[in-house]
Amino acid sequence: MKIVNWLLLIAFGALLIYGTTGLPNRGDAGAGMHSTRSLVDSPGASSFYIRNALRDAKTPNMVTVILADYRGFDTLGEETVILTAGLICFLVLRRRKKPLKNSR
Amino acid sequence: MIDFIRGHYTYWGVILLMLIGMYGMIFKNNLVKKLIGMTIFQVSIIMFYVASAAKWAATVPVLDPAIGAADAARYISPLQHCLMLTAIVVGVATSGVAFALAIVIYRHYKTLDEPLLIERMKAQP
């Protein structure tokens, strides 16, 4: 059983190391992720945000602009996740007046 | 070859951290230790994304009036940082729920050790 776990772990690590051989060098400004035009010839996302953040939202911090302005709806969904997690913590942890069946 | 290693050793370090987290999740018997492994795994994924945002000779993604916004190569990519802000928040939410479940398991079965827990769950459902 331990042997199977170690094999799983080593195979996972080897697969990930093999995956990094296809990645561009770290910090290479010419990598596809940082290019100004994407593969379908639309503006590349990160350089589009860098160029238009101040003009669109009048905020110098680009991370704030993406989080709250361009992707505000995404952030709303994230807040829903936190609300759900908080509600679940409350429901799981509350002490019940009448104990559940089978509980000691 | 040396160029390849210099461009990729960050990713390999992150993968080592990820494997440490997975080791904790697979091999440890205590549920809290498993959760610590899960948190290390999450942090390694966040570090991977932030490492991939880097550009050499570039500054943080806050607009500098001396540089201006026209040259996108002078700022590191802000998109990964924004997405990882979301991922950190969701990670905190999931680990909060996981710790709450661990507390309830401890209240009910008086143990967090997994083989003992399975034994007690079979004895008293």
| Cα–Cα separations (whole angstroms), residue B105 to A99, B35, B98, B123, B124 | 15, 14, 11, 15, 13
> Are B8 and A23 a contacting pair at CB < 8 A?
yes
The pLDDT score that the predictor gives to residue A98 is 67
The pLDDT score that the predictor gives to residue A85 is 95
Indicate the average pLDDT of chain B. 90
pLDDT in tens, A35-63: 888 788 888 888 888 888 888 888 888 89
Interior angle at CA B110, CA B106 and CA B115, nearest 5: 90
In this structure, chain B runs to a length of 125
Distance of CA B6 to the CA centre of its chain: 23
Among chain A residues, the shortest Cα distance to B99 is held by: A89
H helical segments located in A1-104: 2-20, 45-57, 62-65, 72-93
Residue of B11, B56, B62, B82 to mutate, testing the A interface (most A Cβ within 10 Å of its Cβ): B82
* pLDDT above 80 (res A102): no
Q: Tell me the two tokens of residue A87.
A: 């509600």
Q: Tell me the two tokens of residue A96.
A: 């019940």
Which residues from A are below 8 Å from B79, CB to CB?
45-46, 49, 66
* Confidence category of residue A101, pLDDT binned at 50, 70, 90: low
The pLDDT score that the predictor gives to residue B24 is 93
- Give me the mean pLDDT over the B84-93 stretch: 92
> Are B11 and A20 a contacting pair at CB < 8 A?
yes
The pLDDT score that the predictor gives to residue B27 is 92
Read off φ and ψ for residue A103, nearest 5 degrees: -85, 145
Tell whether pTM > 0.90: no
Asked if B111 contacts B29 with a C-beta cutoff of 8 angstroms, the reply is: no
Among chain B residues, the shortest Cα distance to A36 is held by: B72
- Give me the mean pLDDT over the B111-116 stretch: 90
B63: contact with A, CB 8 A cutoff: yes
Residue of B3, B77, B104, B122 to mutate, testing the A interface (most A Cβ within 10 Å of its Cβ): B77
The residue to which tokens 């916004």 are assigned: B69
pLDDT in tens, B31-68: 999 999 999 999 999 999 999 888 888 888 888 888 87
Q: Which residue has the higher pLDDT, A102 or B93?
A: B93
Which residues from A are below 8 Å from B55, CB to CB?
27-29, 34
B2: contact with A, CB 8 A cutoff: no
H helical segments located in chain B: 2-27, 31-52, 78-109, 114-123
Burial (CB < 10 A; 0-12, 13-18, 19+), residue A89, is middle
